[in-house]
Chain A
Protein backbone atom coordinates (compact mmCIF):
# COMPACT_ATOMS: atom_id res chain seq x y z
CA UNK A 1 0.00 0.00 0.00
CA UNK A 2 1.10 3.54 -0.53
CA UNK A 3 2.02 5.59 2.52
CA UNK A 4 1.72 9.34 2.77
CA UNK A 5 4.88 11.43 2.96
CA UNK A 6 4.17 12.31 6.57
CA UNK A 7 4.00 8.65 7.58
CA UNK A 8 7.20 7.89 5.69
CA UNK A 9 8.96 10.85 7.31
CA UNK A 10 8.05 9.71 10.84
CA UNK A 11 8.86 6.13 9.97
CA UNK A 12 12.27 6.94 8.52
CA UNK A 13 13.14 9.57 11.12
CA UNK A 14 11.18 8.59 14.20
CA UNK A 15 11.16 11.29 16.89
CA UNK A 16 11.86 10.56 20.54
CA UNK A 17 12.61 6.86 20.39
CA UNK A 18 13.72 5.42 23.68
CA UNK A 19 12.96 4.41 27.21
CA UNK A 20 12.66 6.11 30.57
CA UNK A 21 12.84 4.55 34.01
CA UNK A 22 9.29 3.39 34.61
CA UNK A 23 9.84 3.33 38.39
CA UNK A 24 10.58 7.07 38.39
CA UNK A 25 7.56 8.78 40.04
CA UNK A 26 7.64 11.58 37.46
CA UNK A 27 7.29 9.09 34.61
CA UNK A 28 4.02 7.67 33.32
CA UNK A 29 4.18 4.57 31.11
CA UNK A 30 1.41 3.37 28.82
CA UNK A 31 1.72 0.16 26.88
CA UNK A 32 -1.18 -0.80 24.62
CA UNK A 33 -1.94 -3.32 21.90
CA UNK A 34 -0.85 -6.93 21.67
CA UNK A 35 1.66 -8.90 19.64
CA UNK A 36 -1.21 -11.06 18.40
CA UNK A 37 -2.73 -8.02 16.71
CA UNK A 38 0.56 -6.96 15.20
CA UNK A 39 0.79 -3.72 17.18
CA UNK A 40 2.32 -2.89 20.56
CA UNK A 41 2.90 0.76 21.49
CA UNK A 42 4.71 2.00 24.54
CA UNK A 43 4.50 5.70 25.32
CA UNK A 44 6.29 7.27 28.28
CA UNK A 45 5.82 10.81 29.57
CA UNK A 46 7.92 12.71 32.10
CA UNK A 47 5.87 15.25 34.00
CA UNK A 48 7.50 18.16 35.89
CA UNK A 49 6.33 19.80 39.12
CA UNK A 50 4.22 22.31 37.21
CA UNK A 51 2.27 19.41 35.73
CA UNK A 52 3.73 19.90 32.27
CA UNK A 53 5.02 17.06 30.14
CA UNK A 54 8.67 17.95 29.64
CA UNK A 55 9.72 14.82 27.80
CA UNK A 56 8.19 11.90 25.96
CA UNK A 57 9.60 8.66 24.54
CA UNK A 58 8.14 5.80 22.57
CA UNK A 59 8.85 2.37 21.24
CA UNK A 60 6.47 0.65 18.85
CA UNK A 61 6.18 -2.79 17.32
CA UNK A 62 3.83 -2.45 14.40
CA UNK A 63 3.32 -1.25 10.87
CA UNK A 64 4.63 2.04 9.51
CA UNK A 65 1.43 3.88 10.43
CA UNK A 66 1.62 2.64 14.00
CA UNK A 67 5.21 3.81 14.30
CA UNK A 68 4.34 7.17 12.74
CA UNK A 69 1.29 7.65 15.01
CA UNK A 70 3.31 7.11 18.15
CA UNK A 71 6.22 9.22 16.92
CA UNK A 72 3.81 12.08 16.17
CA UNK A 73 2.19 11.79 19.59
CA UNK A 74 5.53 12.20 21.38
CA UNK A 75 5.96 15.52 19.54
CA UNK A 76 2.46 16.69 20.34
CA UNK A 77 2.45 15.91 24.06
CA UNK A 78 5.70 17.68 24.88
CA UNK A 79 5.21 21.04 26.62
CA UNK A 80 1.53 20.39 27.29
CA UNK A 81 -0.34 19.81 30.54
CA UNK A 82 -2.06 16.50 31.23
CA UNK A 83 -5.46 18.09 30.72
CA UNK A 84 -4.42 19.50 27.35
CA UNK A 85 -3.05 16.17 26.25
CA UNK A 86 -6.27 14.41 27.17
CA UNK A 87 -7.92 16.46 24.43
CA UNK A 88 -5.89 14.75 21.66
CA UNK A 89 -8.22 12.51 19.68
CA UNK A 90 -7.38 9.69 17.33
CA UNK A 91 -9.13 11.69 14.60
CA UNK A 92 -6.50 14.45 14.97
CA UNK A 93 -3.68 11.93 14.54
CA UNK A 94 -5.34 10.23 11.57
CA UNK A 95 -5.96 13.58 9.90
CA UNK A 96 -2.44 14.86 10.45
CA UNK A 97 -0.91 11.67 9.00
CA UNK A 98 -3.66 11.22 6.39
CA UNK A 99 -4.14 7.62 7.42
CA UNK A 100 -6.33 5.46 5.18
CA UNK A 101 -9.37 3.76 6.76
CA UNK A 102 -7.58 0.43 7.28
CA UNK A 103 -4.98 2.23 9.40
CA UNK A 104 -7.34 4.16 11.68
CA UNK A 105 -6.76 1.57 14.40
CA UNK A 106 -3.14 2.80 14.63
CA UNK A 107 -4.34 6.26 15.64
CA UNK A 108 -6.83 4.72 18.10
CA UNK A 109 -3.97 2.83 19.66
CA UNK A 110 -1.95 6.05 19.97
CA UNK A 111 -4.84 7.78 21.76
CA UNK A 112 -5.11 4.79 24.07
CA UNK A 113 -1.37 4.98 24.75
CA UNK A 114 -1.70 8.61 25.88
CA UNK A 115 -4.57 7.70 28.21
CA UNK A 116 -2.64 4.74 29.61
CA UNK A 117 0.48 6.83 30.24
CA UNK A 118 -1.54 9.51 32.04
CA UNK A 119 -3.37 6.90 34.10
CA UNK A 120 -0.05 5.32 35.12
CA UNK A 121 1.40 8.69 36.10
CA UNK A 122 -1.69 9.63 38.10
CA UNK A 123 -1.77 6.27 39.88
CA UNK A 124 1.69 7.09 41.25
CA UNK A 125 0.37 10.38 42.67
CA UNK A 126 -2.96 9.35 44.21
CA UNK A 127 -1.56 8.90 47.68
CA UNK A 128 0.38 12.17 47.59
Chain B
Protein backbone atom coordinates (compact mmCIF):
# COMPACT_ATOMS: atom_id res chain seq x y z
CA UNK B 1 0.00 0.00 0.00
CA UNK B 2 1.34 3.42 -0.89
CA UNK B 3 1.14 6.18 1.67
CA UNK B 4 -0.35 9.52 0.86
CA UNK B 5 2.12 12.19 1.94
CA UNK B 6 1.77 14.43 3.91
CA UNK B 7 0.03 12.36 6.54
CA UNK B 8 -2.65 14.27 8.43
CA UNK B 9 -2.27 13.90 12.20
CA UNK B 10 -3.88 17.15 13.28
CA UNK B 11 -7.48 16.01 13.74
CA UNK B 12 -7.85 18.19 16.83
CA UNK B 13 -7.26 21.26 14.69
CA UNK B 14 -9.99 20.16 12.33
CA UNK B 15 -11.29 17.06 10.61
CA UNK B 16 -12.15 16.59 6.96
CA UNK B 17 -15.87 16.56 6.26
CA UNK B 18 -17.06 12.96 5.94
CA UNK B 19 -18.13 12.17 2.36
CA UNK B 20 -21.57 11.15 3.60
CA UNK B 21 -21.91 14.52 5.35
CA UNK B 22 -20.75 16.48 2.31
CA UNK B 23 -23.37 14.72 0.18
CA UNK B 24 -26.18 15.80 2.52
CA UNK B 25 -24.87 19.36 2.60
CA UNK B 26 -24.74 19.62 -1.18
CA UNK B 27 -28.42 18.73 -1.30
CA UNK B 28 -29.23 21.98 0.51
CA UNK B 29 -27.57 24.52 -1.76
CA UNK B 30 -28.76 24.78 -5.33
CA UNK B 31 -32.07 25.58 -7.01
CA UNK B 32 -32.73 21.85 -7.34
CA UNK B 33 -32.04 21.30 -3.65
CA UNK B 34 -33.39 22.34 -0.27
CA UNK B 35 -32.16 25.95 -0.43
CA UNK B 36 -35.04 27.80 1.24
CA UNK B 37 -34.84 30.06 4.27
CA UNK B 38 -35.95 28.01 7.29
CA UNK B 39 -37.61 31.16 8.65
CA UNK B 40 -39.89 31.55 5.59
CA UNK B 41 -43.33 30.60 6.84
CA UNK B 42 -45.35 31.30 3.72
CA UNK B 43 -44.21 28.58 1.29
CA UNK B 44 -42.96 25.07 0.91
CA UNK B 45 -39.32 26.11 0.38
CA UNK B 46 -39.22 27.49 3.90
CA UNK B 47 -41.13 24.56 5.39
CA UNK B 48 -38.79 22.02 3.83
CA UNK B 49 -35.71 23.89 5.02
CA UNK B 50 -37.18 24.19 8.50
CA UNK B 51 -37.86 20.48 8.56
CA UNK B 52 -34.23 19.73 7.64
CA UNK B 53 -33.00 22.10 10.36
CA UNK B 54 -35.26 20.47 12.95
CA UNK B 55 -34.18 16.97 11.94
CA UNK B 56 -30.57 18.06 12.41
CA UNK B 57 -31.45 19.54 15.79
CA UNK B 58 -32.83 16.14 16.79
CA UNK B 59 -29.64 14.45 15.60
CA UNK B 60 -27.38 16.80 17.56
CA UNK B 61 -29.58 16.47 20.65
CA UNK B 62 -29.57 12.67 20.34
CA UNK B 63 -25.77 12.40 20.41
CA UNK B 64 -25.55 14.32 23.69
CA UNK B 65 -28.69 13.08 25.45
CA UNK B 66 -30.48 16.43 25.26
CA UNK B 67 -33.92 17.55 24.17
CA UNK B 68 -33.97 19.21 20.74
CA UNK B 69 -35.51 22.32 22.32
CA UNK B 70 -32.30 22.75 24.30
CA UNK B 71 -30.10 23.15 21.20
CA UNK B 72 -29.33 26.64 19.86
CA UNK B 73 -27.46 26.92 16.55
CA UNK B 74 -24.36 29.11 16.48
CA UNK B 75 -21.43 29.63 14.13
CA UNK B 76 -19.13 27.36 16.12
CA UNK B 77 -17.74 26.62 19.55
CA UNK B 78 -16.14 30.05 19.90
CA UNK B 79 -19.51 31.72 19.50
CA UNK B 80 -21.16 29.15 21.76
CA UNK B 81 -18.60 29.83 24.47
CA UNK B 82 -19.13 33.57 24.13
CA UNK B 83 -22.90 33.25 24.24
CA UNK B 84 -22.84 30.86 27.20
CA UNK B 85 -20.36 32.70 29.37
CA UNK B 86 -21.20 36.31 28.57
CA UNK B 87 -24.89 35.50 28.19
CA UNK B 88 -25.24 33.74 31.54
CA UNK B 89 -22.92 36.08 33.43
CA UNK B 90 -24.84 39.11 32.20
CA UNK B 91 -28.26 37.60 32.78
CA UNK B 92 -27.49 36.47 36.32
CA UNK B 93 -25.13 39.25 37.39
CA UNK B 94 -27.41 40.28 40.24
CA UNK B 95 -26.67 36.90 41.84
CA UNK B 96 -22.94 37.56 41.83
CA UNK B 97 -20.02 38.68 39.73
CA UNK B 98 -17.49 35.93 40.31
CA UNK B 99 -16.55 33.31 37.70
CA UNK B 100 -14.33 30.23 38.04
CA UNK B 101 -12.48 28.62 35.15
CA UNK B 102 -9.14 26.95 34.34
CA UNK B 103 -5.86 28.23 32.95
CA UNK B 104 -5.87 25.40 30.38
CA UNK B 105 -9.17 26.38 28.80
CA UNK B 106 -9.35 27.29 25.13
CA UNK B 107 -8.73 30.95 24.31
CA UNK B 108 -12.41 31.28 23.40
CA UNK B 109 -13.21 30.76 27.08
CA UNK B 110 -10.22 32.57 28.59
CA UNK B 111 -10.53 35.62 26.40
CA UNK B 112 -14.28 35.78 26.97
CA UNK B 113 -13.61 35.76 30.73
CA UNK B 114 -11.05 38.52 30.25
CA UNK B 115 -13.70 40.56 28.47
CA UNK B 116 -16.05 40.05 31.42
CA UNK B 117 -13.31 41.20 33.80
CA UNK B 118 -13.33 44.49 31.94
CA UNK B 119 -17.09 44.66 32.60
CA UNK B 120 -16.47 44.34 36.33
CA UNK B 121 -16.60 40.58 36.84
CA UNK B 122 -13.93 38.83 38.87
CA UNK B 123 -12.48 35.62 37.44
CA UNK B 124 -10.49 32.89 39.18
CA UNK B 125 -8.29 30.91 36.79
CA UNK B 126 -7.38 27.56 38.37
CA UNK B 127 -4.26 25.60 37.43
CA UNK B 128 -4.69 21.88 36.80
CA UNK B 129 -2.63 19.19 38.48
CA UNK B 130 0.58 18.18 36.63
CA UNK B 131 -1.45 15.52 34.74
CA UNK B 132 -3.77 18.21 33.37
CA UNK B 133 -6.78 17.30 35.51
CA UNK B 134 -8.70 19.61 37.81
CA UNK B 135 -8.36 18.76 41.48
CA UNK B 136 -11.91 18.50 42.85
CA UNK B 137 -11.05 19.98 46.24
CA UNK B 138 -9.25 22.94 44.71
CA UNK B 139 -12.26 23.55 42.51
CA UNK B 140 -14.60 23.38 45.48
CA UNK B 141 -12.41 25.76 47.46
CA UNK B 142 -12.47 28.34 44.67
CA UNK B 143 -16.27 28.63 44.66
CA UNK B 144 -17.64 31.57 46.67
CA UNK B 145 -21.03 32.88 47.70
CA UNK B 146 -20.92 35.35 44.83
CA UNK B 147 -19.78 32.81 42.24
CA UNK B 148 -22.33 32.89 39.46
CA UNK B 149 -20.73 30.69 36.82
CA UNK B 150 -18.04 28.04 36.40
CA UNK B 151 -16.64 26.94 33.04
CA UNK B 152 -14.51 23.82 32.54
CA UNK B 153 -13.77 22.13 29.24
CA UNK B 154 -14.68 18.49 28.70
CA UNK B 155 -11.65 17.42 26.62
CA UNK B 156 -8.54 19.56 26.39
CA UNK B 157 -7.58 20.48 22.84
CA UNK B 158 -3.82 20.25 23.38
CA UNK B 159 -3.36 17.29 25.69
CA UNK B 160 -6.66 15.44 25.30
CA UNK B 161 -7.32 14.94 29.02
CA UNK B 162 -10.94 14.39 30.06
CA UNK B 163 -12.14 16.34 33.09
CA UNK B 164 -14.54 14.81 35.60
CA UNK B 165 -17.51 16.84 34.40
CA UNK B 166 -20.08 14.84 36.38
CA UNK B 167 -18.39 15.57 39.68
CA UNK B 168 -17.57 19.20 38.95
CA UNK B 169 -21.17 19.68 37.79
CA UNK B 170 -22.65 18.17 40.95
CA UNK B 171 -20.62 20.55 43.08
CA UNK B 172 -21.93 23.51 41.09
CA UNK B 173 -25.48 22.20 41.20
CA UNK B 174 -25.32 21.90 45.01
CA UNK B 175 -24.25 25.52 45.28
CA UNK B 176 -26.63 26.84 42.65
CA UNK B 177 -23.78 27.88 40.35
CA UNK B 178 -24.33 27.74 36.60
CA UNK B 179 -21.96 25.23 35.01
CA UNK B 180 -20.75 25.66 31.43
CA UNK B 181 -18.71 23.04 29.58
CA UNK B 182 -16.80 23.57 26.34
CA UNK B 183 -17.27 20.22 24.61
CA UNK B 184 -15.81 21.18 21.21
CA UNK B 185 -13.26 18.36 21.40
CA UNK B 186 -15.54 15.85 23.12
CA UNK B 187 -18.29 14.89 20.68
CA UNK B 188 -17.78 11.49 19.13
CA UNK B 189 -14.90 10.86 21.52
CA UNK B 190 -16.54 10.56 24.94
CA UNK B 191 -20.09 9.62 25.82
CA UNK B 192 -22.17 12.66 26.71
CA UNK B 193 -25.53 12.20 28.41
CA UNK B 194 -26.94 15.58 29.36
CA UNK B 195 -30.07 14.00 30.76
CA UNK B 196 -27.97 12.77 33.66
CA UNK B 197 -24.99 15.10 33.53
CA UNK B 198 -25.38 18.14 35.82
CA UNK B 199 -24.37 20.67 33.18
CA UNK B 200 -26.35 23.82 32.37
CA UNK B 201 -24.65 25.04 29.20
CA UNK B 202 -22.51 23.08 26.76
CA UNK B 203 -20.70 24.28 23.62
CA UNK B 204 -20.35 22.17 20.49
CA UNK B 205 -18.95 22.52 17.01
CA UNK B 206 -19.21 20.38 13.89
CA UNK B 207 -15.76 20.57 12.37
CA UNK B 208 -13.93 18.49 15.00
CA UNK B 209 -16.38 15.66 14.36
CA UNK B 210 -16.24 15.35 10.54
CA UNK B 211 -18.79 18.10 9.96
CA UNK B 212 -18.26 21.47 8.29
CA UNK B 213 -16.54 24.53 9.76
CA UNK B 214 -18.68 27.55 10.62
CA UNK B 215 -21.44 25.76 12.48
CA UNK B 216 -21.87 24.91 16.13
CA UNK B 217 -24.46 24.71 18.84
CA UNK B 218 -25.06 25.69 22.42
CA UNK B 219 -26.98 23.44 24.75
CA UNK B 220 -29.12 25.52 27.11
CA UNK B 221 -30.79 23.47 29.83
CA UNK B 222 -34.58 23.73 30.23
CA UNK B 223 -35.05 21.88 33.51
CA UNK B 224 -34.05 23.76 35.58
CA UNK B 225 -34.34 26.53 33.04
CA UNK B 226 -31.18 28.48 32.28
CA UNK B 227 -31.35 31.89 30.63
CA UNK B 228 -28.71 33.67 28.59
CA UNK B 229 -28.65 37.22 27.35
CA UNK B 230 -28.40 37.31 23.54
CA UNK B 231 -25.11 38.56 22.13
CA UNK B 232 -26.34 38.82 18.53
CA UNK B 233 -29.54 40.76 18.01
CA UNK B 234 -31.83 40.71 15.01
CA UNK B 235 -34.78 38.71 13.77
CA UNK B 236 -35.22 36.77 16.96
CA UNK B 237 -34.18 33.37 15.60
CA UNK B 238 -33.40 30.54 18.01
CA UNK B 239 -35.95 31.82 20.52
CA UNK B 240 -34.21 35.17 20.64
CA UNK B 241 -30.94 33.72 21.89
CA UNK B 242 -29.13 33.98 18.57
CA UNK B 243 -30.50 35.92 15.64
CA UNK B 244 -29.34 35.31 12.10
CA UNK B 245 -30.62 33.27 9.16
CA UNK B 246 -29.99 29.60 9.78
CA UNK B 247 -27.45 28.06 7.40
CA UNK B 248 -29.41 25.00 6.36
CA UNK B 249 -26.53 23.20 4.62
CA UNK B 250 -24.18 23.74 7.57
CA UNK B 251 -26.79 22.65 10.06
CA UNK B 252 -27.71 19.56 8.05
CA UNK B 253 -23.98 18.76 7.87
CA UNK B 254 -23.60 19.03 11.62
CA UNK B 255 -26.66 16.86 12.17
CA UNK B 256 -25.44 14.13 9.86
CA UNK B 257 -21.91 14.29 11.30
CA UNK B 258 -23.27 13.88 14.83
CA UNK B 259 -25.61 11.07 13.74
CA UNK B 260 -22.63 9.19 12.27
CA UNK B 261 -20.58 9.87 15.39
CA UNK B 262 -23.31 8.27 17.48
CA UNK B 263 -23.40 5.20 15.26
CA UNK B 264 -19.67 4.68 14.84
CA UNK B 265 -18.14 6.12 17.98
CA UNK B 266 -17.64 2.87 19.87
CA UNK B 267 -15.86 0.95 17.13
CA UNK B 268 -13.99 4.00 15.86
CA UNK B 269 -12.61 4.89 19.26
CA UNK B 270 -11.38 1.35 19.78
CA UNK B 271 -9.55 1.42 16.46
CA UNK B 272 -8.04 4.84 17.18
CA UNK B 273 -6.95 3.74 20.62
CA UNK B 274 -4.97 0.89 19.07
CA UNK B 275 -3.26 3.30 16.67
CA UNK B 276 -2.45 5.73 19.47
CA UNK B 277 -1.01 2.94 21.61
CA UNK B 278 1.00 1.72 18.64
CA UNK B 279 2.57 5.17 18.21
CA UNK B 280 3.30 5.56 21.90
CA UNK B 281 4.84 2.07 22.03
CA UNK B 282 7.09 3.07 19.14
CA UNK B 283 8.26 6.36 20.68
CA UNK B 284 8.36 5.46 24.34
CA UNK B 285 11.69 3.62 24.21
CA UNK B 286 13.53 6.72 22.99
CA UNK B 287 15.58 8.62 25.56
CA UNK B 288 14.12 11.72 27.24
CA UNK B 289 10.61 11.43 25.86
CA UNK B 290 7.73 12.66 28.02
CA UNK B 291 3.99 12.26 27.66
CA UNK B 292 2.05 15.44 28.44
CA UNK B 293 -1.25 14.93 30.22
CA UNK B 294 -2.74 11.94 31.97
CA UNK B 295 -2.61 8.73 29.95
CA UNK B 296 -5.75 7.11 31.40
CA UNK B 297 -8.13 10.07 31.68
CA UNK B 298 -7.63 10.96 28.06
CA UNK B 299 -9.34 10.59 24.71
CA UNK B 300 -7.71 7.96 22.50
CA UNK B 301 -7.31 10.53 19.72
CA UNK B 302 -4.48 12.48 21.32
CA UNK B 303 -0.80 11.88 22.02
CA UNK B 304 1.13 14.95 23.16
CA UNK B 305 4.81 14.22 23.58
CA UNK B 306 7.86 16.29 24.50
CA UNK B 307 11.17 15.31 22.93
CA UNK B 308 13.57 16.89 25.36
CA UNK B 309 16.47 19.00 24.01
CA UNK B 310 14.82 19.36 20.60
CA UNK B 311 12.90 22.52 19.76
CA UNK B 312 9.37 21.86 18.52
CA UNK B 313 9.31 24.10 15.49
CA UNK B 314 12.52 22.68 14.06
CA UNK B 315 11.14 19.22 14.71
CA UNK B 316 7.99 20.08 12.78
CA UNK B 317 10.23 21.23 9.95
CA UNK B 318 11.94 17.86 9.96
CA UNK B 319 8.57 16.15 10.06
CA UNK B 320 7.31 17.86 6.93
CA UNK B 321 5.82 14.59 5.71
CA UNK B 322 3.34 14.71 8.55
CA UNK B 323 0.91 17.41 9.62
CA UNK B 324 1.14 17.91 13.38
CA UNK B 325 1.22 20.89 15.70
CA UNK B 326 3.72 22.04 18.30
CA UNK B 327 3.44 23.64 21.71
CA UNK B 328 6.40 25.79 20.82
CA UNK B 329 5.44 29.23 19.65
CA UNK B 330 8.61 30.45 18.07
CA UNK B 331 6.56 31.85 15.20
CA UNK B 332 4.71 34.25 17.45
CA UNK B 333 6.41 37.42 18.53
CA UNK B 334 6.05 36.50 22.19
CA UNK B 335 8.25 33.37 22.06
CA UNK B 336 6.05 32.00 24.81
CA UNK B 337 5.60 28.25 24.63
CA UNK B 338 2.19 26.62 25.05
CA UNK B 339 0.31 28.09 27.99
CA UNK B 340 -1.38 24.73 28.51
CA UNK B 341 1.91 22.90 29.00
CA UNK B 342 3.19 25.72 31.19
CA UNK B 343 0.08 25.38 33.34
CA UNK B 344 0.94 21.70 33.90
CA UNK B 345 4.21 22.90 35.40
CA UNK B 346 6.29 21.64 32.47
CA UNK B 347 9.58 23.51 32.25
CA UNK B 348 10.27 25.72 29.26
CA UNK B 349 12.49 23.21 27.45
CA UNK B 350 9.82 20.53 27.61
CA UNK B 351 7.08 22.96 26.65
CA UNK B 352 9.12 24.10 23.64
CA UNK B 353 9.82 20.48 22.69
CA UNK B 354 6.27 19.23 22.42
CA UNK B 355 4.45 17.77 19.45
CA UNK B 356 0.72 17.08 19.39
CA UNK B 357 -0.28 14.05 17.35
CA UNK B 358 -4.05 13.72 16.92
CA UNK B 359 -5.65 10.82 15.08
CA UNK B 360 -8.95 10.23 13.42
CA UNK B 361 -11.26 8.39 11.09
CA UNK B 362 -8.80 8.08 8.22
CA UNK B 363 -5.58 7.30 10.13
CA UNK B 364 -4.05 3.91 9.30
CA UNK B 365 -1.55 1.58 10.99
CA UNK B 366 0.83 1.98 8.01
CA UNK B 367 0.84 5.71 8.57
CA UNK B 368 1.65 5.25 12.25
CA UNK B 369 4.60 2.96 11.45
CA UNK B 370 5.93 5.50 8.97
CA UNK B 371 5.59 8.26 11.58
CA UNK B 372 7.48 6.29 14.21
CA UNK B 373 10.48 5.79 11.91
CA UNK B 374 10.38 9.41 10.75
CA UNK B 375 10.19 10.88 14.25
CA UNK B 376 13.07 8.74 15.48
CA UNK B 377 15.25 9.85 12.58
CA UNK B 378 14.34 13.52 12.97
CA UNK B 379 14.84 13.64 16.73
CA UNK B 380 18.17 11.85 16.36
CA UNK B 381 19.36 14.36 13.76
CA UNK B 382 18.27 17.40 15.75
CA UNK B 383 19.84 16.11 18.94
CA UNK B 384 23.15 15.83 17.09
CA UNK B 385 22.69 19.55 16.39
CA UNK B 386 21.59 20.44 19.90
CA UNK B 387 24.05 21.93 22.40
CA UNK B 388 21.54 21.09 25.15
CA UNK B 389 21.59 17.42 24.24
CA UNK B 390 25.41 17.46 24.32
CA UNK B 391 25.37 19.09 27.75
CA UNK B 392 22.82 16.57 28.98
CA UNK B 393 25.02 13.74 27.70
CA UNK B 394 28.02 15.30 29.48
CA UNK B 395 26.04 15.20 32.70
CA UNK B 396 25.53 18.95 33.01
CA UNK B 397 22.41 20.02 34.91
CA UNK B 398 20.84 22.57 32.58
CA UNK B 399 18.97 24.27 35.40
CA UNK B 400 22.35 25.15 36.98
CA UNK B 401 23.51 27.02 33.87
CA UNK B 402 23.40 30.82 33.81
CA UNK B 403 21.67 31.56 30.51
CA UNK B 404 22.11 34.84 28.70
CA UNK B 405 18.43 35.79 28.54
CA UNK B 406 17.18 38.06 25.85
Contacts and interface: CB of A to CB of B under 8 A. Distances in A.
Interface residues of A, number: 33
B386 A36 contact: no
Contact of B330 (A35, A59, A62, A112): A62
Contact of A35 (B313, B314, B348): B348
B5 interface: no
Interface in A63-94: 63-64, 66-67
A39 B349 CA distance: 10
User: What is the interface of chain A mostly: helix, strand, loop, or mixed?
Assistant: mixed
A53 to B, nearest CB: 19
A66 B317 CA distance: 12
A40 B387 contact: yes
A118 B332 CA distance: 31
Contacts of A109: 406
A64 B312 CA distance: 10
B313 A61 contact: no
Given A3-B317, A35-B352, A61 B405 contact: no
A34 B330 CA distance: 13
B79 interface: no
Range of interface residues on B (Cβ < 8 Å): 20 to 34
Contacts of A19: 390
A46 interface: no
A36 B385 contact: no
Given A11-B314, A35-B398, A105 B406 contact: yes
Interface of B: 309-314, 317, 328-333, 335, 337, 347-349, 352, 384-390, 398, 403-406
Going nearest first, the 8 A-B pairs with the smallest beta carbon separation are A34-B403, A36-B348, A63-B313, A59-B387, A42-B387, A35-B349, A63-B330, A38-B352
Interface of A: 1, 3, 8, 11, 14, 17, 19, 31-42, 59-64, 66-67, 102, 105, 108-109, 112, 116
19 contacts: A11-B317, A34-B406, A35-B388, A36-B348, A36-B403, A36-B405, A37-B335, A39-B330, A59-B387, A59-B390, A60-B386, A62-B311, A63-B313, A63-B314, A63-B317, A64-B314, A64-B317, A67-B385, A102-B332
